[in-house]
Structure 1
Amino acid sequence: MSNIKISVIIPVYNCEEYIGTTLKSVINQNFKDYEIIVIDDGSTDNSLEIIKLTLKGCGIKYKIIHQKNAGVSVARNQGILASEGEFLVFVDGDDYILENHLSELYVEGYDFTLTQFAKKHDDRLSNYNNFDFESILTDEFIKKELNMEILFNFFQLAYKADIIKGNNIFFTPGVVYGEDIEFALKALIHGDRIHVSNEVTYYYIQRYDSAIRTTEYRRFDVVEIFENLSTYYRIHGKNKQADLIIYSRIPRAIFGNMNYFFYSCYGFEEVMYVMKKKNLFSKLARFRGNLKFKIKVQLFLLNPKLYYKMWFRFKNSID
């Protein structure tokens, strides 16, 4: 039987500028009994050479998997299949973690554990987050996420490996935006409770070369991801959560991404064309919940052009 407590899964594609720092942060943990699994997704730069050089002689069990370029989802899935740990932890190849990341995440008696993250650009940090609970039922956590009451990213969690593998939960290949939250929200319904730490132990590095224009309007693909997740929830008897997706999470995602495009200086007519083509107006109109947000949605649906002019004038925050 394996005595590995945590498998750290790191997908890499052309990260030669960052992967050395990432791996050193994973190696320098104040935690024992973990393995490092790096999946090189067909990098064309020096990433693979840096990975081999950095891990050689590190004293920690590691695996390097090289595959033809197939995308981050396939890379992460390969890491899951190769893992031997009790828990799975994901770190992206251009981010890094603090030395207590794994020790904060390994808490016995829980199906999932969570720490906080901060966005980092140059020397600036943002998006510190604190939860007012030390543990929470997974159903309650899902409800908060679907109502967008909490800021959450999939890499904050450690996942019980038996839950992931026992329920055949994998990242959806070919999806550019939303595959990570889909993975997390699928996994969470199969567990009972999450342990929560308010320690910031993960640094998400913001790179302007990965800005929204590189994926254009594929941010709206998250709607299909959530629709598929709703179906998954109904199959597993989670009808209330499925309804929250349809009547709360999807409308919020549409409205938030629409405002993001406005903020990123996409033209009004262009955004409206894409939304009509994707049939997003009718899905937005299904919103049920918070009155303030509902009024915003109704004002937009009554007169999109007027809403845009008012938004542009006051530079409203993205909801």
Structure 2
Amino acid sequence: MSLSTDIPYLMSVIVPAYNAEEHVGSCLESLCRQSLRNFEVIVVNDGSKDRTAAVAEAVLSQSGLPYHVLSQSNQGVSVARNSGLKVAKGKYVMFLDSDDYLHENCLAELTHRAVTTQASVVFCGYDYVSHDGELLRPYTERHVYLQQDTVSGPEALIEVFTERISVWTGSVMYLKDHLTRYDIRFIAGRTMAQDIEFEFKALFYAGRVSCVNQSLSFYVQMPGSATRTGDFLKRLQGMDVLFALLDHFAGHVQSQEQRQARVGLGEQHSSEYDMEKRVIECLQTYMIPVSLAGVFGSLAADGYPWRDYIRLVNNRANYMEALNMFSPVFDANFAARRRFQVRLLRSSPSVYFVLSRIRGRLR
């Protein structure tokens, strides 16, 4: 594929890193081994107090790949990713966390799929692995791949909401122009679920989404990475992101319909937004209630105090309203389990707490 002089690389891989000297080397070495060579690596050192930048420089200087090691004051992973995106020169971009790594054919397969399908978002499967490479859970244990060569972004997003497919920061590649056109960036200050917000917006606006039906990305579970007691309430920030996405998507559809009405297109083009409306409905009546059940289940399982738990359920009116909006999706992945969880949390939070606490102790 020929590239214009304005796009010197097929791909830019952006690696935010903070105090990552122990694992950033392995991450970057997986990039150095890629069969695709027409890509650049951008490491954003986010105010590390260790030798992160030096390790990155040492690995990349021997790679033969074009690279940048940018250093900035500590501003969080969202700002670090945006800083990398700002200087990226590739036609496509991908974000890889500094403790994760890729299969040697990952970039080649993703870019080939993007070029042949003209998709603006392409993803692959990803496996959970231990820090020493042991397979903990393969992608196909819980999810499937897309059955078509391409689907629309809203169609793919519904597949994500119903847990049939799964995307993760290190398994998705984006056409950079797509991100620019819709002003998709990571939200500064988000400490949880900032990647979900970015991914879901990118999918929502995508004309075409495609999938490489292989696990080519590896999500490393580091020792001690389980959420600590002091981080309990951070989990609820993920719910705030989902509510914000609901408002964002609904606002987009409303503004587009108003624009069409003003220019006289009216009913004849209303079907254009039917799939986007289905995304909003699925998010509101399925994913948000299911996610609430997941969050409250994990709080109980991991030792969150019972009184605080009940107070949290009772004092967040929007949570109970969301649970009451639940509508089962019978062909969703884990459909029966999700239906049971939401209905039990809605009808008896105390019983749900006890069962979740028992489950946590049996793990």
Scaled to the shorter chain, the TM-score interval is over 0.9
Match of 1:184 in 2: 199
Match of 1:50 in 2: 55
Q: Does 1:133 align with 2:147?
A: yes
* Segment of structure 1 superposing worse, 67-76 or 51-60: 51-60
Gaps of 5+ in 1: none
CA distance in 1, matches of 2:34, 2:98: 17
Q: Does 1:19 align with 2:24?
A: yes
CA distance in 2, matches of 1:317, 1:137: 41
Matches within 5 A, 1:74-223: 74-106=79-111, 107=113, 108=115, 109-121=118-130, 122=132, 123-129=134-140, 130-135=144-149, 136-213=151-228, 215-223=231-239
CA distance in 2, matches of 1:235, 1:200: 35
What RMSD, in angstroms, separates the aligned Cα atoms of the two structures? Answer: 2.2
Q: String of CA shifts for 1:140-190, please: whole Å, max 9, x gaps.
A: 111111233333323211100000012211001111211101101111122
Secondary structure of the residue aligned to 1:209 is coil
Which amino acid is the alignment partner of residue 167 of structure 2? Answer: F
Q: Which one of 327, 335, 340 corresponds to residue 288 of structure 1?
A: 327
Moved over 6 A (4+): 314-318
Which amino acid is the alignment partner of residue 323 of structure 2? Answer: L
Number of residue pairs matched by the alignment: 318
Normalised by the length of structure 2, the TM-score is 0.81
* Segment of structure 1 superposing worse, 295-304 or 201-210: 295-304
Match of 1:226 in 2: 242
Q: String of CA shifts for 1:94-153, please: whole Å, max 9, x gaps.
A: 111111110111020221111111111142331322415253322211111123333332
Normalised by the length of structure 1, the TM-score is 0.92
Cα deviation for residue 306 of structure 1 reads: 2.5
Q: Is the 8 A contact 1:230 1:243 kept in 2?
A: no
Q: Which one of 308, 322, 341 corresponds to residue 270 of structure 1?
A: 308
CA distance in 2, matches of 1:190, 1:296: 31
Secondary structure of the residue aligned to 1:66 is strand
Gaps of 5+ in 2: 254-275, 331-335
CA distance in 1, matches of 2:41, 2:297: 39
Secondary structure of the residue aligned to 2:90 is coil
Cα deviation for residue 295 of structure 1 reads: 4.7
Cα deviation for residue 316 of structure 1 reads: 11
- Higher share in helix: 2
Match of 1:235 in 2: 251
